[in-house]
Amino acid sequence: MREHDGINVTRVDLEEFFLHYLNKIYTAKTLLVEDLPKLMNNAHFSDLREAMDHTIDEVKQQIARMDKIYEALTIVHAKIHSKGLKGLIEDSFGEIKMHSGNPELRDMSILFYLHCIESIETASFQILEMASVKIKNSQVKELIRQNYQDSKADKTLYLLISAKYIYTVN
């Protein structure tokens, strides 16, 4: 056990933390694979639809990597109810309906929510990447690193598309 500034955290505690949040992000990613195509069907501009299609493929790769992590750690994914991400997605559908008559604002609403979702995922993978240092498995560390890099790239992609839309407004 290591004590630092009055905080006692063991390797076991950190591993439990890692697995709990891995389960949360796994559950969120599976939700995205289900719901992102529905959002994509509401996107007007082709660059947004293409980015979302690319993201769906990346999310499937991220899930496959997490499956490998579970396998490497010889554990099974435990589904965790994630109200936060589900709420964000539900809110996005409400915003889409609100802007149904204006394709540009509808796309900006989709981009807003996608950027929020990617921000959460990027932060989650970043923390998991830091925590993975204490897990004595280089494959796990590498798989988490790859998912973190993918999330950062997706977040940047949506930010660039948003900037393009905003700067082309008359």
* pLDDT score at 143: 96
Instruction: Note the pLDDT of residue 5.
Output: 64
Backbone angles phi and psi of 9, in degrees to 5: -135, 130
pLDDT in tens, 55-67: 999 999 999 999 9
Query: Cβ(116)–Cβ(62) under 8 Å?
Result: no
Q: Which phi-psi region, left, alpha or beta, contains residue 6 (left: φ > 0; alpha: ψ -120 to 50)?
A: left
State the average pLDDT over residues 106-120: 88
Task: Please name the helix (run of DSSP H) or strand (run of DSSP E) that holds residue 156, with its range, or none.
Answer: helix 138-167
- pLDDT score for 15: 87
Higher pLDDT, 135 or 143: 143
Model pLDDT, residue 64: 97
Model confidence at 3: pLDDT above 70: no
pLDDT at 109 over 80: yes
Question: How many angstroms separate the CA atoms of 130 and 125, rounded?
Answer: 9
DSSP string of 12-81, one letter each residue = HHHHHHHHHHHHHHHHHHHHHHHHHHHHHHH--SHHHHHHHHHHHHHHHHHHHHHHHHHHHTT-------
Rounded CA gap, 24 and 66, in Å?
A: 11
Domain extents for the chain? 11-77+88-168
Q: How confident is the model at residue 8 (pLDDT cuts 50, 70, 90)?
A: confident
Pick the CATH number of 11-77+88-168 from 1.10.132.20, 3.40.1280.10, 1.20.1260.10, 2.60.40.1120: 1.20.1260.10
* DSSP secondary structure letter of residue 135: S
Task: Tell which wins on pLDDT, 103 or 9.
Answer: 103
Average pLDDT in the chain: 87
Write out pLDDT tens, residues 62-96. Answer: 999 999 999 999 888 887 776 776 777 777 777 77
